[in-house]
Every structure is written in structure tokens, then in C-alpha cells.
Amino acid sequence: MIVAAVEDLLFSSKIRNVAKRLDVEVVFARSAEAILSEVRARRPSLVVFDLNADRTQPIDTLAQIRADPEVAGTRAIAFASHVHAGLIAAARAAGADEVMPRSVFAATLPEIVAGAK
């Protein structure tokens, strides 16, 4: 099960289609509060963060997940445009298990989703 903190409609659609094809449940959360609520309630195997999303406050939200002992071990992958080196470094510092450029995320999406079964 995946909680996706992704605002971009193109990437949301890609994630939804791959998850459906692989029979993996995915829930999209569009605010920091919704992400935290979904992670605490559903205990997903993966949380995906789009670091370029403003409403989800990805760095702060990731740090809050890592600070919560009930869900701190939840796997988290983050992606951003490769030109946003500061965001990428901040996500690593906040505790993301993997941080990758948007292009790598798109190219490896089937493997990422399959790993969340």
C-alpha cells in the first residue's frame, strides 16, 4: 500500500496507472495533515513525496513521520527536479530512504510500486 504526496496530475496519473496494473493500493494525500493521517491510519509500506509540491510540505512532513515512533520506520521515497539540489539534500537530511531525480523516479516507477506490495 502506498501513500503518495504528489500534486502533479501527470505523475499522479502515472502512479495510479502503474499501481492499478500491479494491483497495489495507492492513496493520494494533498496536504501535510492528510499525509500524516493516512500514514498513521493505514500503515503503508511506502510513502512517495514529490519534493516540488508546496501544499504537502514534503520536508517537514517527512521529518514528522520520522519523529513519530509508531510510523518512523515507514519507507519513504522522494523525487525532485535534478536542479533542486537543496531540496534533495534536505530530503536526505529529513530521513528519506531514497531521493532521486524526477526522471529516474518515472523510469523506475514499476519497480518502486511493485516493491510496495
Cβ atoms 27, 36 nearer than 8 A: no
Residue recorded with cell 524526477: 102
Nearest to 47, CA basis, from 15, 21, 86: 15
Distance, in Å, from the CA atom of 7 to the CA atom of 21, rounded to the nearest integer, reads 21
pLDDT of residue 29: 96
The single-letter DSSP state of residue 3 is: E
pLDDT of residue 50: 96
pLDDT of residue 54: 85
Q: What is the mean pLDDT of residues 56-70?
A: 96
Which residue ranges form the domains of the chain, and what is each CATH number? 2-114 (3.40.50.2300)
pTM across the whole model = 0.94
Give tens-digit pLDDT for 83-102: 788 999 999 999 999 999 99
Contacts of 95 (CB under 8 A, 6+ apart): 62, 63, 65, 66, 76
**Pair type for strands 75-80 and 46-50:** parallel
pLDDT of residue 106: 95
pLDDT band, very low/low/confident/very high, at 81 (cuts 50, 70, 90): confident
pLDDT band, very low/low/confident/very high, at 24 (cuts 50, 70, 90): very high
93 SS3 class: helix
Q: What is the mean pLDDT of residues 18-44?
A: 97
